[in-house]
Amino acid sequence: MNDLIELYGANTGNSFRAAIALEEAGISYTPRKVDLWAHEQRDISYKALNPAGKVPTLVDHSETPALIINQSNAIIQYADAKVPGQLAPIWPGPETVRVFDRYFFFVTDVIAPSHAAFFLRQAGLDDAAAVMSERVIEQLIFAEGFLTEEFMAGDRFSMADISAFTIASSVRDRLDWRSHPRLADWFHAIEARPAVQRGLNAFQ
């Protein structure tokens, strides 16, 4: 554990994404559990770190002033910058471009509709929410075509696998895995990675 880097989070996909990125990059940090049911995310002290009252939040006290990051996908980028080579290739080039291309596909075309479905459901717009949720599943199935090698963006684990895995986890009970064996094999292989397991258990 490293008190200089704190990761505030809960058992949610966005928090897992950030924790898995730190674990896979080999960055030592201290997890700080935020109890969403007790509305700790709305405490004044927490909102001083994350004005939106959401998790995750990363605080890096080794920077002056302390570096505060509020977006899970920005925490992935932070981890990649801090320990280059673990979440994307070190050198610019076609392989790196492919990692970012696939990573952003999951961020914008899969994770964003999933968030939209959540907000539509909260607003009582169940039919619209169902359309968005269906879109999430469709896009994940589309992504099975990326698996020409072992991982989502080639033959090495990358940030594309993190963004894909966390969103696939959130729909694991609704996806027809048997009809998509390559996607299923990939999912189980990612889930079995020790760093992924540590990330999933960070906020127990």
Ligand X SMILES: N[C@@H](CCC(=O)N[C@@H](CS)C(=O)NCC(=O)O)C(=O)O
Residue number with CB closer to ligand X (179 or 201): 201
Name the residues that contact ligand X, by CB under 6 A: 12-14, 36, 41, 53-56, 71-73
Classify 22 as helix, strand or coil: helix
Minimum gap (Å) between residue 62 Cβ and ligand X: 22
Minimum gap (Å) between residue 7 Cβ and ligand X: 11
Residue number with CB closer to ligand X (49 or 89): 49
Minimum gap (Å) between residue 148 Cβ and ligand X: 28
* Per-position DSSP letters for 111-178, written without gaps between them: IHHHHHHHHHHHTT-HHHHHHHHHHHHHHHHHGGGGTTSSBTTBSS--HHHHHHHHHHHHTTTTS-GG
With b for 16 or more beta-carbon neighbours within 10 A and e for fewer, the 156-172 pattern comes to bbbbbbbbbbbbbbbee
Residue number with CB closer to ligand X (5 or 154): 5
Residue number with CB closer to ligand X (56 or 113): 56
Contacts of 20 (CB under 8 A, 6+ apart): 162, 165, 166, 195, 196, 199, 200
Residue number with CB closer to ligand X (23 or 154): 23
Question: ∠ CA 167-39-24 to the nearest 5 degrees?
Answer: 35
Chain centroid offset of residue 128 CA: 24
Minimum gap (Å) between residue 130 Cβ and ligand X: 20
Minimum gap (Å) between residue 93 Cβ and ligand X: 28
